[in-house]
Amino acid sequence: MTGAGTGWAASALPGPHQDRDFPPVPGMRGDRRANEFWWQYEVRFAFEATQEVRDAYAAIDRSVGGPGDGSRLFALHARYQQIRREGGFPGDYLSLVAPVKDAYAVLSRLQLELFDDHYGGRHQHLLPWAFVRMGDGTLYDPRMPGRNKLHLMPYGANGVMTHAWHLWHAVNRANTLLGLSPGRWNRIDPLIGLGWAVQSVMYPDPDLVNPPMATGTAQRLVRQWRWRTPARMDTAFDSHPHPPGHRP
């Protein structure tokens, strides 16, 4: 199987569609494949996280000064930012993450399995769509627990733009510096930026099924992000809360 993320084009972005590869879910709204992809992400890394995943979280948590219960994972992003500001990247960041390489290897492997399962082979050209629709707030999934049923990166207090895309980028850079499928993560990382850009532009309401980003606008954003090098991605993620040039 060709790994998901090896090639994708703006012209390949489809309209919203149902997918016969997955059973219907009553009440679901939005792209069926994207909904399933993000649902399985939630199941694997949150709702039904295995001991292997919890142990990986704990190791990374301890590596950034946390208590080892996974509660301070966002401190990884803070350390990444600090190292970037102080001019110690990439060497100091590699020194930070290298002692827990095995933990990053677990998370990398399990994530890439999901990419392959849902967007490998003949479906890989659809992968940007998953990030566009995650960002624009159109993936309503009644299987989600609690009040908010959207697959959407959560906002901070008072609706402040999420840091979750930034954390994912910091994890990606740990993967690439550690030699964990660097080619694949360097191709996937621009999609992280794409999702962040879409959410920044659309600022979807987490309590609503939001109108989708127009296909033409999505295609333009894909073209802007798809070929960004790791260095350009690092520079983009130095910005917060929005990517340079992308605001609501």
Question: Considering the domain boundaries, does residue 122 fall inside one?
Answer: yes
Q: What is the pLDDT of residue 1?
A: 32
Question: Considering the domain boundaries, does residue 244 fall inside one?
Answer: no
Question: Considering the domain boundaries, does residue 90 fall inside one?
Answer: yes
Cα 170 from Cα 158, distance rounded (Å): 24
Can you give the pTM of this predicted structure?
0.93
Q: What is the largest CA-CA distance in the chain?
A: 51
Q: What is the pLDDT of residue 17?
A: 53
Q: What is the pLDDT of residue 18?
A: 59
What is the count of structural domains for the chain?
1
Which residues contact residue 55 at a Cβ distance below 8 angstroms, ignoring those fewer than 6 apart?
103, 106
Q: Which residues of the chain have pLDDT under 50?
A: 1-3, 5-13, 15-16
Question: Considering the domain boundaries, does residue 201 fall inside one?
Answer: yes
Cα 119 from Cα 117, distance rounded (Å): 6
Which residues contact residue 147 at a Cβ distance below 8 angstroms, ignoring those fewer than 6 apart?
207
Question: Considering the domain boundaries, does residue 48 fall inside one?
Answer: yes
* 149 Cα distance to chain centroid: 18
Place of tokens 């060497």: 91
Question: Considering the domain boundaries, does residue 241 fall inside one?
Answer: no
Q: What is the pLDDT of residue 21?
A: 86
Question: Considering the domain boundaries, does residue 49 fall inside one?
Answer: yes
Question: Considering the domain boundaries, does residue 171 fall inside one?
Answer: yes
Residue-range definition of the domain harbouring residue 149? 25-236
Q: What is the pLDDT of residue 10?
A: 46
Q: Apex CA 44: angle with CA 60 and CA 127, to 5°?
A: 100
